[in-house]
Amino acid sequence: MRRGIWLALLFCLLWLAAAAWPVGAKGESGKTAQLAVVTADQVNVRQGPGVPYRPLANVHRGEAYRLIEVKDGWVNIEWKPNRTGWIAARYVALAKETAIVQENRLRLRQEPSRDGRIIGHLARGETVWVIKEDGEWTEVIADGAIGWVSSAYLTAARESSISHQTGIVNASSLNVRAEPSLKAARVGRLVRGEEVEIVEKKPGWYKIASQTGLDGWVSSAYVQVKGGQANEKEAEAPQSADRSLLSAIAPSDSRLYVDSWTRGPVQALAGKTIVLDAGHGGKDGGAQSVDGIKEKELTLETAKLLKNKLQSYGARVVLTRSSDEYVPLSARVAAARLYQADAFISLHYDSAADPDASGITIYYYDRFADYELAQSFQGLFRQLSALPFRGIAFGDYYVLRENEKPSVLLELGYLSNRSDAAVVATNGYQEAVTTAIVNAVRHYFQ
Ligand SMILES: [Zn+2]
């Protein structure tokens, strides 16, 4: 019996040790590369890890981006808030941790040697990113320049430092995550102008507490520290790359900052631009029910109803078409860019060879920005009793694939299904489904 108790105890201890292990391993995240710094003049960011993939943007020498993963000679980066892409690994240097320069005018050299050509000087107190160490030399990234410094004049920055600074969110939408990693679960979202308390810092990340009670980790690149000095360098690096984008959206950050305080969190849609895309139109009728209901007519009806409801919450709504006209797919996507859409919603009604296929489907393309928008619909669609909810699915649709803005395509019922078709044409369904969409979008921007 006694032996049984000891065995049970031992089992418990082993189980506890196993349960505790992953927590301990997480503490070492500071040692893995977190940042990709561009080392060539101009590099394409592509949709996937390979030259055949479509380029999404260009990045430039010295710009630093958050690193997501490295795979087969390609590096996945976050090249703007919530948008990821791939760049060839040979054009980037990966940094893993920060160090602080202890000597004024510390020489930055091309090679790890006293004979190495001097390519710059670093100032005491400056924070640099560490790429690797070689004997008494450390390869660092400082202000976009890559070079070697004598390791004796660097001290490791504490992996995390306690801080009680305040910061202001300077991205239109910023994810708050449970851990300082892009792969960590999203626990909430902050909007531009929100003030947060910075309670802890790690390279590339701030642990924050928001005034709405959110706490978690955010990318430090999109939080502007108020009157702070520590870690400012690392926060500035990715931000500079994004500045053109931010200024395009917001000519005056300070004005937006004031706006966001006066409007408060209740009016999540105030000032947001939503592009509604009524599928098909003109010569392109889309699907058609056995009773002759045309998809192009139904999508326009839904879009117009949705427009009124969204506007009543203060959103700016743009329709890709407001009459029965043919609008090419490229023009629909262009509208999202032209009007700087905060969200693009394409409305459709489904059709399938199987006459029993029924229900609502949400399609996304981008696994970050689009997927998060898609997720905001699922709870509300599930509650709609009129039609079953089929779920969220990847959809390689032009209006999603070519869209730089968070975009989803909603299939709001099957015209090929006799009972779905009867339901979707009713005022009751149109009211219910548009209310669900509005609430989902409000939730998304909260
Ligand atoms: Zn369609």
Per-residue pLDDT tens listing for the chain (446 residues): 455 566 565 555 545 444 333 332 222 333 466 778 787 778 899 999 988 888 888 888 767 777 888 888 899 998 876 788 999 988 888 877 777 888 888 899 989 988 888 888 888 777 777 888 888 899 888 766 788 999 888 887 543 344 457 888 887 788 888 888 877 888 888 888 888 888 777 767 788 888 777 889 988 878 887 754 333 332 222 333 232 222 222 222 222 222 222 233 347 888 899 999 999 999 999 999 998 999 999 999 999 999 999 998 889 999 999 999 999 999 999 999 888 999 999 999 999 999 999 999 999 998 888 999 999 999 999 999 899 999 999 999 999 999 999 999 999 999 999 999 999 999 999 999 999 999 999 989 98
Q: Output the CA 46–ligand 1 centroid distance in Å.
A: 28
Q: Output the CA 267–ligand 1 centroid distance in Å.
A: 31
For the chain, give the secondary structure using H, E and C: CHHHHHHHHHHHHHHHHHHHHHHHHHHHHHHCCCEEEECCCEEEEECCCCCCCCEEEEEECCCEEEEEEEECCEEEEEEECCEEEEEEHHHEEEECEEEEECCCCEEEECCCCCCCCEEEEECCCCEEEEEEEECCEEEEEECCEEEEEEHHHEEECCCCEEEEEEEEECCCEEEEECCCCCCCCEEEEEECCCEEEEEEEECCEEEEEECCCCEEEEEHHHEEECCCCCCHHHHHHHHHHHHHHHHHHCCCHHHHHHHHHHHCCCCCCCCCEEEEEECCECCECCCECCCCCEHHHHHHHHHHHHHHHHHHCCCEEEECCCCCCCCCHHHHHHHHHHCCCCEEEEEEEECCCCCCCCCEEEEECCCCHHHHHHHHHHHHHHHCCCCCEEEEEECCCHHHHCCCCCEEEEEEEECCCHHHHHHHCCHHHHHHHHHHHHHHHHHHHC
pTM, full prediction: 0.45
Q: Which residues pair with 74 in a beta bridge?
A: 71, 88
Q: Output the CA 310–ligand 1 centroid distance in Å.
A: 22
Q: Output the CA 72–ligand 1 centroid distance in Å.
A: 37
Distance CA 252, CA 246 (A): 9
Q: Output the CA 287–ligand 1 centroid distance in Å.
A: 6
Q: Which residues pair with 133 in a beta bridge?
A: 138
Q: Output the CA 352–ligand 1 centroid distance in Å.
A: 11
Q: Output the CA 388–ligand 1 centroid distance in Å.
A: 18
pLDDT of residue 321: 94
Q: Output the CA 302–ligand 1 centroid distance in Å.
A: 13
Q: List where CATH 2.30.30.40 sits in the chain.
A: 31-94, 96-156, 161-250
Distance CA 149, CA 116 (A): 10
Distance CA 209, CA 200 (A): 10
CA distances in angstroms from 291 to 176, 231, 349, 361, 410, listed in the order given: 48, 65, 14, 22, 22
Q: Output the CA 338–ligand 1 centroid distance in Å.
A: 23
Q: Output the CA 279–ligand 1 centroid distance in Å.
A: 5
pLDDT of residue 256: 28
Q: Output the CA 202–ligand 1 centroid distance in Å.
A: 46
Chain Cα centroid distance, residue 422: 38
**From 3.30.70.20, 2.30.30.40, 3.30.430.20, 3.30.230.10, which CATH number describes the 96-156 domain?**
2.30.30.40
Under CATH, what is the fold of the domain 161-250? Answer: SH3 type barrels. (2.30.30)
Under CATH, what is the fold of the domain 273-445? Answer: Aminopeptidase (3.40.630)
Q: Output the CA 296–ligand 1 centroid distance in Å.
A: 8
pLDDT of residue 30: 35
Q: Output the CA 295–ligand 1 centroid distance in Å.
A: 7
Q: Output the CA 378–ligand 1 centroid distance in Å.
A: 20
Q: Output the CA 348–ligand 1 centroid distance in Å.
A: 4
Q: Output the CA 416–ligand 1 centroid distance in Å.
A: 12
Superfamily (CATH) of domain 31-94: SH3 Domains (2.30.30.40)
φ/ψ of 192, rounded to 5, equals -55, 135
pLDDT of residue 9: 57
Question: 371 and 364 in contact (C-beta within 8 Å)?
Answer: yes
φ/ψ of 131, rounded to 5, equals -90, -55
Distance CA 80, CA 82 (A): 6
Q: Output the CA 299–ligand 1 centroid distance in Å.
A: 8
